[in-house]
Amino acid sequence: MMLGDKGYLSAEVQKNLFETANITLEVPYRLNQKNWRPPSRTYKRFRKRIETIFSQLNDNLMMIRNYAKQSCGLFTRMAGKIAAMTFMQ
């Protein structure tokens, strides 16, 4: 199971993920949808953790600002920043 953003509501995207990688995508409904139901506490807790980690990567480690010239350099820098994030926690 993988948590997804509201932008991944498309049934086609969910079907493609399941067929290619056997991933079930859990996506919250939008408020204006017919089948809307409030997200579970577990989903909210995981979602908050994910948002916090992304915020820390952007604010503390400046993940967005990256001047790598090649894809291998980008990968190396991202891996280093994620490793630093792991040590900080």
Name the helix (H) or strand (E) containing 2: strand 2-3
* pLDDT tens for the 89 residues of the chain, in order: 666 666 666 778 888 888 988 888 777 777 777 777 787 888 888 888 888 888 888 888 787 777 888 989 889 988 988 898 888 77
**Which residue pairs from 21-27 have beta carbons closer than 8 angstroms and sit at least 24 positions apart in sequence?**
25/1, 26/1, 26/2, 27/3
Domain ranges of the chain: 2-64
Q: What angle do CA 47, 52, 58 make, to 5 degrees?
A: 130
